[in-house]
Amino acid sequence: MVLINLFFIFFKIGLFTFGGGYAMLPLIQEEMIAHGWLNIDQFVDIVAVSQMTPGAIAINTATFVGYKVGGIIGALCSTFGVISPSLFIITIVATAMNKFKDYPLVEGAWQGIRPAVVGLIMAAVISIAQEVILDINGVVIGVVALILLVKLKLHPIAVIIISALLGLILGLL
């Protein structure tokens, strides 16, 4: 039963979130905690590992959660669940996009969806930040990471390594 639940929950997540993996994070967090499969610390750890590993964060997160909950078969169920809606939808959209892309209703819908995706990503950031940034060290590391990514355009792996070193240094002070 848990394998079927994994598939359908991740299918729903894949079906109802637009904007990629980061936009999925609030829904993944809510579902995993609601089902008791993860607590917030485990969710944050999985997101961190998913961010560091190659591939899309939503697929990595689904795979990690599925594995934790149901082993290898659970990983396969949750991964296939999260990618299935995209496979179906993108196949349909790709065949129709050129035909309908200039219609005002289609353009209007996309103009509404894009800002909503930004809101979903910001909600995920705020939710995770509230659980992870517990002291001034967390604030410093978060600000440094943001500057390194946005201003200096450093590669995310380098930022993760620098942040880990900062955590070690600040933790020892």
109, 56: one domain: yes
Q: Tokens at residue 64, please? A: 């990690």
52, 126: one domain: yes
The predicted pLDDT at position 19 comes to 67
124, 138: one domain: no
Q: In tens digits, what is the pLDDT along the chain, a chain of 173 residues?
A: 899 999 999 999 888 877 667 778 888 888 888 999 888 888 888 888 888 787 788 888 889 899 999 999 999 999 999 999 988 988 887 788 678 778 888 888 888 988 998 998 898 888 888 888 888 999 999 999 999 999 999 998 899 999 999 999 998 77
32, 80: one domain: yes
Q: Tokens at residue 14, please? A: 């894949």
65, 85: one domain: yes
143, 168: one domain: yes
100, 161: one domain: no
16, 74: one domain: yes
145, 123: one domain: no
Burial 114-149 (b: 16+ CB within 10 A, else e): eeeeeebbeebeebbeeeeeeeeeeeebeeebeebe
123, 61: one domain: yes
91, 156: one domain: no
Number of structural domains the chain divides into: 2
Q: Which amino acid is at 2?
A: V
44, 98: one domain: yes
Boundaries of domain holding 103? 2-132
